[in-house]
Amino acid sequence: YGTAGIAFAYAVGFSLVGLVGFAIIYQTAQFSTTDITNIASMSQYRELLTFSLPLASSGVINVIAKNSDMIILGIFRTSTSVGVYEVAFRASMLVIAVFSPAIGYLFQPIISKYDANDDRRQIKQLFTITTRWVVVMTLPIFSLMFLFPEQTISFFFGDDYRQGSLALSILVVGYMFSRLPGLTNKVLIATGKTKILMYTSLGTAVLN
């Protein structure tokens, strides 16, 4: 079904995740749609918006930052250059996409729990352990892609994109450096410091 079929499958996958997630919340938390219109819960909306709006803004800014390089390439170079760079960019994201999200899903709520109890010692200990795990588990993927960029691109996308090997090497170095400080963005979210995350994302977008 071509590109439209791929897009449809992608949309269906996200929709199913949303439906299953809502069903789990409805069952475990005894959630009711009438709770949304309950006047007693209106006071919580301000707190929710104060937390969520900077986080949503950060997400939008990150999308712009990640696509700005391809927009600039599209202005000054050919569509072929954009395609080659896009392949290198997508391949390089394996450095951060394999282990970090899996650890982050568990890491963030635990940090939030420790923060609620004002247990800084446990936060420090957990952050240190997870940072070591992230770096150690990411290092083999980084090494493989950095030392053999041409083979990596050829394996996933074919020999036509081998000219993007230098871009891949540069990108994986950047992503590897982003893993060295650990899951700092998760700590900021878990401790409610979403405004700092928004400002950091804005600075990254401007620099990019």
List pLDDT tens digits, range 164-193.
999 999 999 999 998 898 888 888 888 888
Lowest mean pLDDT among 36-40, 96-100, 128-132, 186-190: 36-40
Task: Tell the residue number behind the tokens 């936060």, with chain if given.
Answer: 123
Q: Which one, of 123, 124, 140, 125, lies nearest residue 179 by Cα?
A: 140
Q: Residue 87 carries which side chain, given as an amino acid letter? A: V
What six digits make up the tokens of 168?
A: 């891949």
Average pLDDT, the chain: 87
Cα three-residue angle 9-11-14, rounded to 5 degrees: 110
59-87 mean pLDDT: 87
List pLDDT tens digits, range 37-68.
665 566 677 778 888 888 889 888 888 888 88
3-state secondary structure of 46: helix
* Torsion on CA atoms 140, 148, 205, 199, rounded to nearest 10: 10
Q: Which one, of 138, 140, 123, 117, lies nearest residue 187 by Cα?
A: 123
What percentage of the chain reaches a pLDDT higher than 90? 32
Total-model pTM:
0.74
Q: Is the pLDDT of residue 102 over 70?
A: yes
DSSP H or E stretch at residue 118: none
Q: Which one, of 57, 20, 40, lies nearest residue 197 by Cα?
A: 57
137-153 mean pLDDT: 92
CA distance 107 to 101: 9
